[in-house]
Each structure stands twice: as C-alpha cells, then as structure tokens.
Amino acid sequence: MGDDTKLEDDIHEAEEKLFALLKKEGKSGRHPALFLRDVRDAQES
C-alpha cells in the first residue's frame, strides 16, 4: 500500500513540474502541444 502512495506522490510531483514547464514555454510563444510532442519524442528515444 505504501508503494502506491509513493507512486501517486511521484506522479503528482511530475505533473506539477510538467505544468510549470508548459506555463514557461507558453510565455515564450511556443505552443504547448509542440513542447509535449518534443517531450514524448525524447522519452521514446
């Protein structure tokens, strides 16, 4: 049970970091969808 809680905490933390990056990228004029595509491509390689 403790592992599930840790995993949920890790996921939540990763989501917060992702949203912060999206917000930052959005301010630079780059569309968030392009940023997400780059992230996905980087994960696959």
pLDDT tens for each residue of the chain, 45 residues long: 578 899 999 989 998 888 887 777 666 666 777 778 888 888 887
What is the pLDDT at residue 9?
Answer: 92
- Residue 38 is encoded by which pair of tokens? 């780059």
Cα gap 43→41, rounded to integer Å: 5
* 3-state DSSP percent of the chain in helix, strand and coil, to 5: 85, 0, 15
What is the pLDDT at residue 10?
Answer: 92
Cα gap 3→9, rounded to integer Å: 10
What is the pLDDT at residue 30?
Answer: 66
